[in-house]
Structure 1
C-alpha cells in the first residue's frame, strides 16, 4: 500500500468517526430542568422566602428510605392542616420525575412506596402552605 492510499484511508476513517459522533450526539436527549424556567426564575425570591420560613424547623424535618418506603416526617406546627406537594426531581431523566400530593397524618408523617421509583438519585422538593405562609424544603435522596 502506498502513501496516497494510506492518506485517503485515514481521511475516510476520520470522517466516519466524526459522522458516528454527530449521530450519537443527535440521539442524546438534553432535558431542561424546567420548560418554564424563565418564569420560575422571576418567582425565585418566593422560594428563598419559603426556605427562610422553613429554616427554624430544618433539623426537625426527616426524609429517608426505610425498607421499601420513603418516610417523610415534619414538625406538627408547620404541617398539620397544610396543603402542598412533593416533587421528586430526577436530574438525568425528566420522564422519571414524580409529583405527589402532600398528605401527612396527625403526627406529621407521610409514607410513600419506594417501589414506584426507579433506583437512583432524586432531589426531593417539598413545598406547602399553611395559614397563608409558604414553606419549602429540599433534600437529595438515593433510592
Structure 2
C-alpha cells in the first residue's frame, strides 16, 4: 500500500493530537501534580491585605521589629524588650509552600520576651513565617522567609 503526502499529514496530525491528549490526561490524573491554590480561601485573604500593610507599617514606625533566629532547640522569635511580654497576644503562622499538611499556627503566650518553636515541629526546607501580634490594642505584623 502506498501512502501519499495527504495521508501522511493526516496521520501526523492524529499522532500529534493523541500525544497531547495522553499527556493532558496523565497530568490531570497524577497525584504528584498539585493543583491547589496557594492558600485556602485565597480571595477572602486578599480582602484583608490593607490591614496587613497597616500592621507591618506600624511595626516599622514604632521600631517594634522582631528577630527570628535558628538555634539547636528550634526557632526562637525575639520580641522587643521594651514591651511587657504578658500583654503581647497573637499568632505565629508557619507556612510550607511545598506541603500544605505541614502548615501550623501557634498562639503567642509569653512570660519572657522570646517564643521558642521546638525543633521537632519543623522539617528542613523553606518556611514562610508570619507573626501577627497585638500590644495594648495596637496591631503589628512581621513576615519572613526562612530556610530551616
TM-score by length of 1: 0.80
Is the contact made by 1:88 and 1:97 (CA closer than 8 Å) also made in structure 2?
Answer: yes
3-state SS of the aligned residue for 1:57? coil
- 1:142, CA displacement in angstroms? 1.0
Q: Which residue of 1 aligns with 2:18?
A: 15
The structure that has the greater radius of gyration is 2
Is the contact made by 1:62 and 1:72 (CA closer than 8 Å) also made in structure 2?
Answer: yes
TM-score by length of 2: 0.77
How many Å separate the matches in 2 of 1:97 and 1:10? 46
Query: Residues 36, 78 of structure 1: CA spacing in aligned structure 2 closer, same or farther, 3 A cutoff?
Result: farther
* Aligned positions of 1:22-61 closer than 5 A: 22-27=25-30, 28-55=33-60, 56-58=63-65, 61=66
- 1:91, CA displacement in angstroms? 1.6
Work out which structure has the larger RCO, using CA pairs closer than 8 Å and 6 or more positions apart in sequence: 1
Query: Residues 10, 89 of structure 1: CA spacing in aligned structure 2 closer, same or farther, 3 A cutoff?
Result: same
Task: Provide structure 2 residue ranges, at least 5 long, that are not aligned to the other structure.
Answer: none
Greater helix proportion = 1
Residue range with higher mean Cα deviation, 9-18 or 128-137: 9-18
